[in-house]
Every structure is written in structure tokens, then in C-alpha cells.
Structure 1
Amino acid sequence: MAINIQMPALSPTMEEGSLAKWLVKEGDTVKSGDLLAEIETDKATMEFEAVDEGVIASIEVPEGTDGVKVGTVIATLKVEGEEDAAPAPKAEAPKAEAPKADSTPKAEAAPTPAQAPKADPVPAKAASMGDRVKASPLARRLAEASGVDLTTVQGSGPNGRIVKADLDGAKPARAAEAPTVAAAPAAATPAPAAAHAPVAAQDFGIPHEAVKLSNMRKTIARRLTESKQTIPHIYLTVDIRLDKLLKLRGELNAGLGGRGVKLSVNDLLIKALAASLLQVPACNVQFAGDTLLKFQRADISVAVSIPSGLITPIITDAGSKGVATISAEMKDLASRAKDGKLKPEEYQGGTASISNMGMFGIKQFEAVINPPQAMIMAIGAGEKRPYIVDDALGIATVMNATGSFDHRAIDGADGAKLMAAFKDLIENPLAMLA
């Protein structure tokens, strides 16, 4: 019997994905637990395992295909005892065209692009003679699209079955026999989408490369557009002295060195934001139409830049965790995020976000809220500045922090209270460790 292998739902919200890479080929024998493919969702690339044992009979969706809906048949598996299925008969269409091929002058044999593929005498002859060609469904579709005569192809699959790989380098049957027929569709086919882009580029005269968007980049574009169009942002900025925090970090790292823990400034900022949200619960909320969700804990989404875009792994219940635990979890999440190995529950959710661009030398920026959250904290670089210290002009290490708030859910006064609490915890960091 044949078993359909379908595009899996790798997260509760997944509706479609990209078939990034096949890890098997037609004719391979697989067993339960073997890796079949890599599926790219909007946030990660995840491995898809086989459930049943058998032979990969056909691959229906080629690797690199985007927008494959959940439930779509992507391959078929032949289990023990299944016979090769006879190819679907295709004799009717060639027979209908055969009289035209014999009686119609060559100049009129291909008046439209649609007729050209049907005017191939070789496949018609094979079908009328009842020849049985063993080929996978994908190989048949590719051969039909490219005009390859399957009777001239040597199959490398089970029992000599023709698979996709066997078509590489195969020459179309009609290319040598009827060059005028082959040329007609090329001239008549409009292909407006394919032709328009390069023409526009030539008009501007700018050298360029067209890069196909990944699912992650498409999701980032969609969600951030939605955020700016539907969420009324309010921005609040404060200057924060870092000297005490930097001193405490050095002391903690000296004490934790034996445990292999090295705290970053960002680890302490995550803790400070979580503690601030618990102090000002009016900001630890989410707008949900005619409902306001008030969260009982602070789950902090941390923006991490990866080669394919941006992802926000979550430190769950960061307010109740020690900074050493936060540091260890953040290192693990960031490492697996860059390898595309995060589980959906590790980056979906969160009650608020933090984005730190200080390591890039950015002094200040306003981050876009990550929907459906209601706030995000943007962290700038710490730098030595002239600063009033104890009513006298001095030098201090200062950074800018800007909170972006969803004004539908959070009033400006509550946002200001959160920024004040965040500033106070960083300038007096022992309080967040109590």
C-alpha cells in the first residue's frame, strides 16, 4: 500500500512552510525516526522525521518550494508488498492530435503555445503501442514540461524506475526534430512577470541581484507592517547611569568564575526589565480587542540577530530567576536560534521584549512593538559623558533606554512609571538581586 507523506504542522500557528531540503531521494528505504526533510517555518528550520517504514516512491514537492500548505502531500511512501503502479494512460490526448500532425502543414502545426507540447510524435507513439514506462509522478511532470521522451531515459530507481535525478541532462525530444515548433511558443509566450522585472532594472541601469525572501523575512515584514499600521506607538526615553551596574557585574563574574558563568550587561538588563514589569503591572499587559490581558509573570522576549533575520527567544518568568540562570538560558537560546533549532514555544509568546543595539555603537533608537505584545525596551550604547553627579559636573557611563508602548493598552503615565522603575533598578542594581 502507498502512504501519503503530508506537510506537517510544526507549531500550533503554522499554516504553511517552505520545503527547504530533502534529506532522502526517491528509491531510498526509510524507517521510523529517519530524517526526511528540513522544513522552514517563519522562525526556524526544523527537521521532519519519518513515522512509517518503506521506500520513498515519489517526491511530489521539490526542495526549495515556498508556501506549501499544511496537509499538502509532499511525498509518497511504498510499504512492503506494494507493487509499482502503472502510469496513468495518456494516449487520448496524443491520439486526438495525431491526425493533425499527419494532415496539417508544418507551418500550421503550432499556431498557439498550448498546442506545441501536444504535437510531440514520440510520446504519442509510445502510448499507442502500449509501452509501459516506469517513472515517478514527479519525473513524469518534469518530463512533460520539458519535452523529454521518457522511453529514452535510463531509470536508476527501484526496478529501473525513472526518478527526478535521471532527468538531469536529458535533452528534449522535440528540440532537434522541430526547432520551428519549439521556437514558436518562446516567441508567443508573454511571461509578463518574468520579463518585467529585468526590464525595469535595465531602465534604471543599476546592477543588482534579486534575492528570494525567506519565510522568516516575509513574516518580519508582515508583522512589523501590521505593528506600525495598527498599534499607536508612544515612545519614552531616559538616560541611565551604568557605573554601579558595571561594577556589580565585575564582582559577580569574579565570584561566579568557578561555575563557568560570565554575565553580560544584557543579562542584567533582562532581569531589570522583568523586575520593572512586576513593579508596574499596568505595563505587563496585552491589548486583545475588547479585553485587556494582565499577566502574572514577566516573560521577556530578547531580540537576537541571525543570518536569516531576527528572532526573539524567550526567558520565561525572568522576574523570579537569578541572573546566573538567565545568563545560562540566554546563551543556550541564542546558540540554538542561530542554528535554527529553537522549538516554537521557545520563541512564541512573551509579555514584553528587549532589543539591545549598544554593541553596534547605536546611541538611541525606537524599536517597533512585537505584536501582540504591548511594549518593547530599546537599549543604546553605554558611553562616557559629562554628567551631573551629586550636584557637580563629572564623568559617568550613561546609556539611553527608550520604551515603545501600545497606547491602546498602556497610558503614558504608566509607561513613565515603568521607565522610572527600570532606571532605578539599573542605577541601584543590588535591589534587583534581593
Structure 2
Amino acid sequence: MPINITMPALSPTMEEGTLAKWLVKPGDAVGPGDVIAEIETDKATMEVEAVDEGRVAVILVDEGSEGVKVNSVIAVLAEEGEDAESIKGPAETSPPTSAVASKEAPVEKTSAPEKTPPQSSPAPTTSSAAPSKNGDRIFASPLAKRIAAEKGIDLSTVSGSGPRGRIIRSDVENAKPSAGKAVASAVSPDGLILPQILDDRVYAPESYELKPLDGMAKVVAKRLTESFMQIPHFPLNVDIQLDKLLSARKSINDSAPEGVKISVNDFLIKASALALMDEPDCNASYTDNGFAYHKSANISVAVAIDGGLITPVIKDAQSKGLATISAEMKDLAKRARERKLAPQEYMGGTFSISNLGMFGIKSFSSIINPPEGMIMSVGSGEKRPVVGKDGQLTTATVMTVTLTCDHRVVGGAEGAKWLQAFKRYVESPESMLL
């Protein structure tokens, strides 16, 4: 019996992904553990392994297809002894035989049932075809449909240049949208978010270049909008002197083994984790069922990558030394920029740090990364005039940090106490080593 290969859920929150690349072709034999495809989620590119043995009979989703729903059938395997060439569509099994098989198969069947009109069958596709003006079906790749929806293009008006007249990416990219269609496609289903488009009556389409959103950009935009709309943010800021920390960092790096180099950010990660242990009411998340108080400090660190932002997590940071934190952070940041992080490496944080000090930003506030209860924005360290303990005016290296809190779970007093603890660790770095 044919075996369905379905789009896997590579993280608990994944709903759809991009099938970036097939590593097999029809006729290839595969076995459990063989890498058969690369899937792009909103944060990373991951390899997909086969869980069954067989021969690839048909591939139903093209390379580069975006918005492929989790559990939709993407290919079919023929078992030993089966004629792979006779298999044209997904296997109808209940329950599915594949370990990750779909409960639903939104794939157009190409094996013709009795009621199918006597016409040639198009190439298999996982996209549901849109009706055209004459009642026929329109066949387009998932990527072409996605771009058409974003640009407000009526696919019934587009001529396909792909196999058997199928509409492909270049066809819709060269087509011009209509203002009315663009407005209609931009309205969110819940009606809460206003259309985010450029009106053709004001901005002529030829006056700008439209770059379609990738999966990461869409998810980031959605989650940040939801966070800012749903979470009552409030900021707290404080100035912190860095001179002792910078001196301690120099001493540690001068005496450290070759290859070990502690950064200021490593100190801030450690100080944040210790402050969360000192003020456990701040290491919390709001849920509809109650306040979730986390037992460990898992520090998410914002890393800018091409096309977006990702927050790899240093787990149990309160129990790790500076050298360990430094090594983990370098590795995570490197693989984040390559989009090679596994979901467990960028999920599960309890607190976030965003540092723009290296760009000369003095202070800023960030949008909370739910379900975390707080995020700290770190500005640049700079020489500023300060009044010393003796009452005399002097200079010191000072940075401004802004703590943004979810007021549902962290009150002003709790956030202030956390900042006091964090400041104490940073201004007395030797206390982090105890």
C-alpha cells in the first residue's frame, strides 16, 4: 500500500513552512533515517528524514513552495513490490500509515474517479485550484498563489507558462495587481488589523519594487503586532556604571586560555539570570490559567539575521560560568545567522535581552517576546559626567538599560527590584563569580 509523506511539524507552534529543496526524486529508494528534503520554518532550515522504507513514487509539492500546511501530503512512497509509476496521488488510509501522516489530505487527486470529466489530468499539486470565469479550474504552484494573494492578482486573468499551462512564480510576478483586489487581500480575517498596502492611486506600481514577505517576516510581523496589541507594556530605565565590569572583563580575558574571550553581553546574560533568581516573581509568564513562575533562568538573546530577528536561548544561565555562556552564545549566534538552529534552541526563554549598544544607541525600549514577562534593552556604554561618592564631579562609563514589563504579571515595584538586583551584579561583577 502506498505510504504518504507529510509536512512535519518541526516545532510546537509551526503551522506551515516552505519546502525549500528535495534531496530525492521519483524512483529513488529511501529508508528510515534517510534525509529526503529541507524545510524552511519561520526561523530555520531543517532536514527531514524518512520514517518508512520504500521507493519515491510521486512528489506532490514543488521545491520552493511556500505556505505548505503541517500534515499535508508532500510525496508518496511505494512499498516493496508495488508499481511506483502507477501511483499518482496520496494514499487513502485511515489512519495514515506514515508516522507523520496527515489527518486530512488537501491534495488534489490525480487518479481519476468515475465522475471526473474526460479531460487530461494536470500535474499533481497540493494547492486547491481557484475557479476561473468559465468554470474551469486554475492550476498554479503554491508559491505563485501566495504571491498572487499578496499582490492582489486575480489568477483567472493570468496565463500560465509552466507545464500544461500551470501558473508559476514568474507569471504572477510579471502581472499587475488591481487596487481593489489588493485591498481585499490585505484585510485580516478578524478585522482588527487595518490593510497594510500602498494604494495604486497614490503610489504607482512602477514607482517602487515590491519584495514578497518570506515566512520569517510574516511570523515576526504577526507576533510583534499581537504582542503590542494584547500585552500592556510599561518601561523602567536605569543608568549603570560599567567601569568595574570592564576592568574585570579585561583581567579575565588576559588570563583566560587561548580562544576564550568574554564579552560584555556575556556578563549581562549572567547578571540577568542571577537577578531573576533573586527576584523570582519577575521570572514569570502570564497565562489564562494563572501565573507561571519559572524555576530556571532561560535567557533569550536577540540576534539580527537576514530578513528578521531570532532569539537563541541560553538555558539555565544562572548555573553556568561566563566561559560556558560565552562559548554557547558564539555557537548559537553563528548557527542563527545560518538559519540552522533547532526549535528547542530558540524556544523556551523566560527573559529576553536586546542589545543595540554596538550601534551607538543610547537607550530604547523593546516589544515583549511572549510568553516571557520582561525584555531588557541595552544601550551603549559611554563616558558621562557623574557625581562621585565624595560629592565631586567625575566621569564614568555609563550605559542605560530599559526594562519593558508585562503589567499583567510584573508590577512596577517588582520590575524596579529586579533592576536593582541586576545593577548590583553589573556594578560589582565579582559577586557573579561567587
Provide TM-score, normalisation by structure 1.
0.75
Residue number in structure 1 paired with 2:86: 85
Secondary structure in 1 matching 2:207: coil
Residue deviations 1:119-154 (CA, integer Å, cap 9, x gap): xxxxxxxxxxxxxxxxxxxxxx679xxxxxxxxxxx
Secondary structure in 2 matching 1:217: helix
Q: Quick one: distance in 1 between partners of 2:217 and 2:198?
A: 26
Match runs of 1:183-202 below 5 Å: 193=181, 200-201=199-200
Quickly say closer, same or farther: Cα 1:375–1:169, change in 2 above 3 A. closer
Secondary structure in 1 matching 2:383: strand
Q: Quick one: distance in 2 between partners of 1:75 and 1:93?
A: 23
Residue number in structure 2 paired with 1:323: 322
Residue number in structure 2 paired with 1:377: 376
Q: Quick one: distance in 2 between partners of 1:276 and 1:8?
A: 39
Residue deviations 1:11-33 (CA, integer Å, cap 9, x gap): 22323222222223334343433
Match runs of 1:48-59 below 5 Å: 48-59=48-59
Residue number in structure 1 paired with 2:60: 60
Deviation at 1:190, TM superposition (A): 9.1
Q: Quick one: distance in 2 between partners of 1:407 and 1:261?
A: 39
Deviation at 1:277, TM superposition (A): 1.0
Q: How many residues align?
A: 358
Q: Quick one: distance in 2 between partners of 1:268 and 1:237?
A: 19
Quickly say closer, same or farther: Cα 1:89–1:214, change in 2 above 3 A. closer
Match runs of 1:287-366 below 5 Å: 287-366=286-365
Quickly say closer, same or farther: Cα 1:54–1:385, change in 2 above 3 A. same
Find the structure with the greater CA-based Rg.
1
Secondary structure in 1 matching 2:244: helix
Match runs of 1:29-428 below 5 Å: 29-83=29-83, 84-85=85-86, 88-89=111-112, 113-114=133-134, 193=181, 200-201=199-200, 203-205=202-204, 207-256=207-256, 258-390=257-389, 391-428=391-428
Deviation at 1:307, TM superposition (A): 1.0
Deviation at 1:168, TM superposition (A): 8.4
Deviation at 1:71, TM superposition (A): 1.3
Q: Quick one: distance in 2 between partners of 1:204 and 1:142?
A: 28
Deviation at 1:264, TM superposition (A): 0.7
Q: Quick one: distance in 1 between partners of 2:228 and 2:198?
A: 33
Deviation at 1:63, TM superposition (A): 2.2
Asked if the contact 2:179/2:200 (under 8 Å) is kept, the reply is no
Secondary structure in 1 matching 2:134: coil
Residue deviations 1:307-331 (CA, integer Å, cap 9, x gap): 1311111111111111111101111
Residue deviations 1:352-406 (CA, integer Å, cap 9, x gap): 1111111111110001111111101110011111222232111211110000011
Q: Quick one: distance in 2 between partners of 1:199 and 1:364?
A: 32
Letter in 1 for 2:367: V
Quickly say closer, same or farther: Cα 1:95–1:191, change in 2 above 3 A. farther
Residue number in structure 1 paired with 2:19: 19
Letter in 1 for 2:267: L
Secondary structure in 1 matching 2:86: coil
Residue number in structure 2 paired with 1:433: 433
Q: Quick one: distance in 1 between partners of 2:229 and 2:162?
A: 50
**Structure 1: stretches of 5+ with no match in the other structure:** 97-111, 119-140, 144-166, 173-188
Quickly say closer, same or farther: Cα 1:171–1:52, change in 2 above 3 A. closer
Q: Quick one: distance in 2 between partners of 1:379 and 1:306?
A: 18
Letter in 2 for 1:85: S
Letter in 2 for 1:56: V
Letter in 1 for 2:334: S
Q: In terms of mean alpha carbon deviation, does 402-411 or 387-396 score higher?
A: 387-396
Letter in 2 for 1:114: N
Q: Quick one: distance in 1 between partners of 2:137 and 2:56?
A: 29
Deviation at 1:423, TM superposition (A): 1.3
Deviation at 1:263, TM superposition (A): 0.5
Quickly say closer, same or farther: Cα 1:247–1:74, change in 2 above 3 A. same
Q: In terms of mean alpha carbon deviation, does 365-374 or 82-91 score higher?
A: 82-91
**Structure number with higher helix proportion:** 1
Deviation at 1:195, TM superposition (A): 11
Secondary structure in 2 matching 1:254: helix
Residue deviations 1:150-169 (CA, integer Å, cap 9, x gap): xxxxxxxxxxxxxxxxx987
Q: In terms of mean alpha carbon deviation, does 55-64 or 228-237 score higher?
A: 55-64
Provide TM-score, normalisation by structure 2.
0.75
**Structure 2: stretches of 5+ with no match in the other structure:** 89-110, 120-131, 142-159, 166-176, 186-196
Residue number in structure 1 paired with 2:152: none
Residue deviations 1:277-322 (CA, integer Å, cap 9, x gap): 1111121111112411122221111111111311111111111111
Letter in 1 for 2:339: G
Q: Quick one: distance in 2 between partners of 1:399 and 1:344?
A: 33
Residue number in structure 2 paired with 1:128: none
Residue number in structure 2 paired with 1:157: none
Q: Quick one: distance in 1 between partners of 2:259 and 2:223?
A: 38
Asked if the contact 2:58/2:87 (under 8 Å) is kept, the reply is no
Secondary structure in 2 matching 1:387: strand
Q: Quick one: distance in 1 between partners of 2:39 and 2:253?
A: 40
